[in-house]
Chain A
């Protein structure tokens, strides 16, 4: 079985500050890991993905994440927050052997950006 835990259901940062959203995973086989963003009343949009190539993954909108096997983590970061980054962020995991690439999502982290 696979799962992800997102630490902190709400994160608030000031505009221009570092964004750090935490995700820890549990998987019995090498995982694929994803971060998605969801704006109000919208579907989820893929930000970035880890697929066992480079451990530091760069995504859209200036976000990046680092896969750390020893810590079973895949935290999402952005050096400087913009107001437009305010949204819900979901970490997801699927294993490389799973049927049909099914992903399991974390409970999400709401990012608030203060002016």
Chain B
């Protein structure tokens, strides 16, 4: 089945130690998004890729970076995780030509910072 896969499901990292979260998709969607979701809150958009074009949200901290080496993969890099970065990170995809299609989400990566 076509899907969005996030690895790992759970990640524990040390304060200040760089960490990378991974997302892959078999849907051939041209847009990929990274959301941060803290407990009992709405998902907050960090950035998205429209094909190869990177689009950062204005309030996304510089500590967060992303890479999309090809259509299928997208990575979230946190350069120096702080305790406040502990959250669920959600990857989502959509086909912009079908903007009304909504998103397909991965299962998320829960990040713990110790």
A contacts, CB < 8 Å to B = 32, 34, 36, 41-46, 49, 51-52, 90, 92, 94, 96, 98-103, 105-108, 110
Task: Tell me the B residues contacting A by CB distance below 8 Å.
Answer: 4, 6, 31, 33, 40-43, 45, 48, 50, 55, 88, 90-92, 94, 96, 99-108, 110
**Given A44-B103, A49-B101, do A102 and B45 touch, yes or no (CB 8 Å)?**
yes
Q: A94-B99, A98-B99, A100-B55 are in contact. Are A44 and B45 (CB under 8 A)?
A: no
Report Cα–Cα, A100/B101, bound state, in Å: 12
CB-defined contacts of A34 to chain B, threshold 8 Å: 102-103
Across the interface, name the chain B residue whose C-beta is closest to A95: B99
CB distance from B73 to the nearest CB of A (A): 17
B103 contacts A46, C-beta separation under 8 Å: yes
Determine whether the beta carbon of B42 is less than 8 Å from that of A100.
no
Knowing A101-B99, A102-B45, say if A45 contacts B31 (CB, 8 Å): no
Among A41, A90, A100, A105, the one with the most B-chain Cβ atoms within 10 Å of its Cβ is A100
User: What A residues does B6 contact at CB under 8 A?
Assistant: 43
Instruction: State A100–B92 Cα separation when bound (angstroms).
Output: 12
Interface of A, helix, strand, loop or mixed by DSSP: mixed
A105 touches B105 (CB 8 A): no
Q: A78–B100 Cα gap in the complex (Å)?
A: 23
**CB nearest neighbor in A for B90:** A43
- In contact, B48 and A108 (Cβ under 8 angstroms): no
Q: Specify which chain B residues have a CB less than 8 angstroms from the CB of A43 in the assembled complex.
A: 4, 6, 90-92, 105-108
Give the contacting residue for B99; candidates A32, A41, A46, A90; CB below 8 A.
A32
